[in-house]
Structure 1
């Protein structure tokens, strides 16, 4: 069925937040220059059907525009923002819907909306005057086999820019985005609250769920009813499925009551994300080895959160985490104390990442934790032979005095 996209409702609070973020970025760059950033393009799913669209996070952070094909132009010296509308055919507008100039200005705080032809003219004029052009360097194929959205490369080709014609703004954007404003924290907190409510509904009825698919369906319903969607493909994994880190193929097979169910899910609401994991089990029935693994990982995760302090070394935090995870595996009998070189065999991922407009954000090049950072703490251990996969993940805000666990309301279950 072909659907016309409904026009979203925007608020002046959204424009105020994005204007503040545009200003922060310009202050971080200083001097004279022109920022040129594209939103993502639609990607083909099959034939004449597009894949579910996700906006490029930096573009979304700066503008709030959720439609594909737009470009933002920001004068660094004045922090003046201009949006560039896509050239849409009548057929594209009929099938996909469109965003009016007024709506785009209303959400982003931009001063005007121009055409692609005007974009090319303004960029050429900036180059003639010797202004610095700040652009996101196009991404390359990911090590997991994913291909990047072509929007950045297409924009460079359209503007006839080679690598030496622009400055890569990626590290500056990452540093500015690493510490959240109050408006951003309010949106992150709402996404987390919606996620916690859904987790608690599942936890209270976990014994009644027959399959991974049933759990996934109910959490999907919860997020949509709250005006959001999944921040990433939901991971609902029973038994050995939990040993696949990004298991995203929930089945209708009956869940075994003597095994745990790992649920890694987060809501995406108003442009910001949650990322929470719980490993639920039936204490009266579950295998004792599974119970022991969950209890040790849970205890250790709480201890790890206490390692995070404003001004504390990020590198030392990661080192202390590895030591703690090694002790967990020794206590469980999975490794001996002299086998630290085998740690990644059972703990193969990082302890956490930044969280915000992207689910996985950088720490912005900071060496120490800064107030306003939001990060995940997610220790996990996995062994397909033992059919045990355990992960506990919370979303942590770094404050002036310490930390706040934003997702603590999501019950751990038993």
Structure 2
């Protein structure tokens, strides 16, 4: 099976080339270009550089930040970079940047292997891999950036380079700094054995929120098994006018040992959809695509330790903003993601993100969804207000914020910390003409 190539073909017309997961992230580009090779993309970058034309690069299109992967100029859609090539000898998979993770998992399943990637369907390979990459497998293997062996990079001058750890500066920069150093068209990732897993969704009544919060604290404080993972969502649907808490439990084996999830399983539930299944099937149980096509924004804080008072505050924020008649959000969600304190200990190679691996900070995602463009400014302001409030309560103001969740005006200092001078120096070397400044995203 060495060198086995799985071809996933996909031809997208112009509307699909510019359409994003969140409608508020889509723009009508002057044209949409779908290169088929890195060399063709390099030629386009040279033209764009010469004409100083605004452009955008779209992989999966899952960003909620307006203008980060969309433009009124030239839209570059990476959809034709859709190969998954598994190499049994090196235990790696080379993956096209135009794919989504659920497609990758399905392609690798016949070989009994997996990679460290996203936890929901529809999330693009490119953005997550360049911004960090938290996964159900992170406790075992680290972030996605910790597993990258090579990048196929179209540099700002149009040349194509295979970047590995031997290219110390660029390899460091590409591990977490998004699109600042060029356009990555393929990633070579380490693979890991993957069999059936246990997990799924449990939804609870708001009446049991006290028991749920205590169970989360118990899990975060006491669980040491790296095969276990947990995501908690506090959702508020305007249509239902009520809080809907739920847990997505995961264990990387057909059955978890007793004790790992007992507290969560003992709470009375409304719906429980938990069983043994394949990893791709588990990913499809996520409700991440439930609000596809709406207007949306993410933001984030970083948390070092979970406590019941802090989780109560998260519940209060969910209910307050979700039920606000003046705000009018269709959907408000706060996602708690506890990991082991050792989650950053899986790599000794420096990376742009996280800028420090000394503390096991974890991201908390804030997500608002709404219908009308006229509400954009109010929604952004509400998310930012809630973020500031919760970060104060979390007691970790200096902990780096996760770039893939951070709202568009987050200062780069808050994500890259002491790495920023080195990243700025590298950018001057790699992109002296500021070609990547013609596209959106967080810029150094």
Q: Same fold (TM over 0.5)?
A: no
Q: Larger relative contact order (C-alpha < 8 A, sep ≥ 6)? A: 2
Q: Which has the larger radius of gyration?
A: 1
TM-score, normalized by length of structure 2?
0.25
TM-score, normalized by length of structure 1?
0.26
Identify the structure with the greater helix proportion. 1
Identify the structure with the greater strand proportion. 2
